[in-house]
Structure 1
Amino acid sequence: MTLNKLPVGTSATVLSISPSQAGFRRKLLSLGMTPGAKITVKRLAPLGDPIEIEVRGFSLSLRKSEAETIQVETI
């Protein structure tokens, strides 16, 4: 399942980040979104884009297109 399909309030574990956008992947990894990291979907913007998540104690907003590149498994 990809991150963009999780409903608000759901927690998940990061499985992988697609290497299709190498610079974006590197930035997420440097922010701590590594495989095994626990994330929680906090809220969605009114039109559904961007998505706010919590990872390792801080909030991060991602576009839906970016969230599609992150494979997760619900807890």
Structure 2
Amino acid sequence: MTLGELRKGQKAQVIRAPKSQGLGERLLEFGFVEGATLEVLAEAPFGGDPILVMIHGTRVAVRRDDASGIQVSLLQP
């Protein structure tokens, strides 16, 4: 499952994030590392961009295309 598939209120643990130059480095700086827990706080209407994610106490807006490259494991409520 990817971060882009999560919906508002769902929590997940990061399994893998891109490690490429540019975007991958930026995601690492925001804390998208293996084992990190995150929660989707909000989504744009009609499933559009961006989605708002809380990770390590920081709110981060991520484009859905970029979120689809982050592998996560859904945490049960």
| Cα separation, 1, equivalents of 2:63 and 2:71 | 15
Aligned amino acid, residue 11 of structure 1? K
Deviation (angstroms), 1:58 = 0.9
TM superposition outliers: structure 1 runs of 4+ over 4 Å: none
Deviations 1:25-55 (A, max 9, x none): 1111112111100000001012421000000
Matches within 5 A, 1:1-75: 1-19=1-19, 21-47=20-46, 48-75=48-75
Q: Structure 2 CA distance, aligned partners of 1:67 and 1:31?
A: 13
Structure 2: 5+ residue runs without aligned partners?
Answer: none
Offset, 1:11: 0.2
Identity across matched positions, percent: 35
Q: How many residues align?
A: 74
- TM-score, normalised with respect to structure 1: 0.91
One-letter identity of the residue aligned with 2:36: A
SS of 1:29's partner is: helix
The answer for unaligned runs of 5 or more in structure 1 is: none
> Under a length normalisation based on structure 2, what TM-score does the superposition of the two structures give?
0.88
CA drift of 1:17 comes to: 1.1
